[in-house]
Structure 1
Amino acid sequence: MVQITTTNASFIFEIMGWHKLWSLKSKLIIPRENVVKAYQDESEITFWKGLRMPGTEIPGLLAAGTFYKNGRNFWDVSNKKNALIITLREHYYKKLIIEVQNPQLALQLLNNL
């Protein structure tokens, strides 16, 4: 699970609990101007997430870390009903696919640029 906070210049995505170990990251700081949009689409959260480098995947249970599929993407999802897809520009990652506690609140925060 990921907790999102904001500053004037950036969004801070803090990976919570054991997910830090599984994803091999503790936080991502993304400048506001790099966030294109955030949305939910369960059909994009497929079985094949791409080549895992580095990270953890237990099919059907957990995907956490960096995966290569149509670019470099960061995943931290165990419940796709609470997952968001965040499209980025001019950043190390092309997309963030993350699970949050309250998707609607997170969408408002991210899309209210």
Structure 2
Amino acid sequence: MALIDIDRERGLLTVEFQGLDKLWTFKSRLEIPLAHVRGATHDPGMAREPKGIRVGGTHFPGVITAGRFRHDGERLFWDVKNPDKAVVIELADAETYDRLVIEVDDPRATVALVEQAVSHR
């Protein structure tokens, strides 16, 4: 699971990976400029979509999808074990990823946090 936070002073969306997710994703944190964040949705169905090609990370179907993937020309970053808690963060002008698909503790609160930050840029 991951914690998502907004740092308005630095203009960043941060994703902090917890526990073993650091191992599965090969990352401890991501920092995305808020200017590159288009929005977020709670999308449990996204976790059931084809993942594409794993570039780095872990994928055991039905158990965990974590790390970097490429699908239909998109660069995706995944960290999902429980699809019901998946949040999709759409990015624009991103240098590294087009979308983040992240499992969070409270998807609705996370979407509200991201959407509020995007609307107040």
TM-score when normalising by structure 2: 0.89
Any stretches of 5+ residues in structure 1 without a counterpart?
none
- Supply the distance in 2 between the matched residues of 1:76 and 1:96 (Cα, whole angstroms): 8
Q: Which residue of 2 aligns with 1:81?
A: 84
Q: Pick from 28, 38, 41: which aligns with 1:39? A: 41
Mapped contact 1:47–1:59 kept (Cα < 8 A): no
Equivalent residue, structure 2, for 1:103: 107
Q: Residue 72 of structure 1 corresponds to which residue in structure 2? A: 75
Amino acid aligned to 1:38: A
Report the 3-state secondary structure (helix = DSSP H, G, I; strand = E; otherwise coil) of the residue aligned with 1:73: strand
Partner residue of 1:24? Answer: 26
TM-score (norm 1): 0.95
CA deviations 1:4-55 (Å, max 9, x no partner) are: 1221111110011101111101100011111101002233222521100100
* Percent identical residues: 36
One-letter amino acid of the counterpart of residue 6, structure 2:
T
Q: Distance in 1 between matches of 2:109 and 2:33?
A: 19
Whether contact under 8 Å (2:47, 2:80) holds in the other structure is no
Superposed CA RMSD in Å reads 1.0
Alignment partners' CA distance in 2, 1:44 and 1:84: 9
Runs of 4+ with >6 A deviation: none
